[in-house]
Amino acid sequence: MPDIVDLLRSRRSVRAYEDRPVAPELLRRLLVAAMAAPSASNSQPWEFVVITRPAILERLRSKLLFARYNAPAAIAVCANLRIAHNSAARHYWVQDCSAATQNILIAAAGLGLGSVWIGVYPLPSVMAPVRQVLALPEDVTPLSLVYVGHPTEHEPPNGHDRYEERRVYWEQYEPRKRRARKKNAKHE
Ligand SMILES: Cc1cc2nc3c(=O)[nH]c(=O)nc-3n(C[C@H](O)[C@H](O)[C@H](O)COP(=O)(O)O)c2cc1C
C-alpha cells in the first residue's frame, strides 16, 4: 500500500479522460469514501447525485464554463439540511460537504481514477444550472461536482511538492517572520 502522504502529493486535477465508463463498483467505493468524511457533530448533511448518462453530462458541460471536460461520470455533492442528524449542520454544512468532496478525490487517486473538483456553491450562476439539470429540490444545495474517470495521462509517481516552510509557524504566529517573507518576495 502506498504511503498516504505520497498518494496525497501525487493527486492532481484530471481534465482529460479515456472514453470508457467507470465501473459502478468503483463509483460506489467513492461514495463510501465520501460518507466516511467527518462532519460537525456527526451531522452528515450530505446527499449525492451520481451522473453517468451522457446526455446529462453533456447538459452540464454545455452550461458550465469551467467544467467542459469529457469525464464519463460525475458526482454532485449536495447538502440537505432536512436530513442532517444534528442542527450543527446549519452552520458547518460547507465544511462537511467539502470534506466529503475531498474524500472522493483522495479515494479516486487511490483507486487509480482521475478526478477534478468543480466548484458550485456559492456562485448562483453555477448553482442555478446544476440545480436545473439535476432537478434538485429547493432545500437541496449543490456544493460541488466531482468529475471522475480513467485519466488519459498518469502523473509521475512523486508528484509536486507544495510544502513551504515559510508558511508554517510553530506554537505562535511570528510577525517578524511574516515581514521577512514580504521583503524576500521581491527576489523570488
Ligand atoms: C473549491 C474548488 C473549486 C474548483 N473549481 C474548479 C472548476 O470549476 N474547474 C476546474 O477545472 N477546476 C476546479 N478546481 C480545481 C483546481 O483548479 C485545482 O485543484 C487547483 O488548480 C490545484 O491543482 P491540483 O488539483 O491539480 O492540485 C476547483 C478546486 C476547488 C478546491
Which atom of ligand 1 lies at the shortest distance from residue 160's CA? 27
Q: What CATH number has the domain bearing residue 40?
A: 3.40.109.10
Residue with CA closest to ligand 1 atom 17: 13
Chain segment 78-107, per-residue pLDDT in tens: 999 999 888 888 899 999 999 999 999 999
Model confidence at 159: pLDDT above 60: no
User: Which residues have C-beta atoms less than 6 Å from ligand 1?
Assistant: 12-13, 15, 66-67, 116-119
Q: Which residues contact 98 (CB under 8 A, 6 or more apart)?
A: 143, 144
77 contacts 101 by C-beta, under 8 angstroms: yes
Q: Which of 172, 180, 58, 73 is nearest to 116 (CA)?
A: 73
- The pTM of this model reads 0.93
Closest by CA to 114, choosing from 104, 128, 125, 127, is 104
Query: Containing domain of residue 60, as a range?
Result: 4-185
Q: What is the pLDDT of residue 179?
A: 56
The enclosing H or E element of 51 equals: strand 46-51
Q: What domain count does the chain have? A: 1
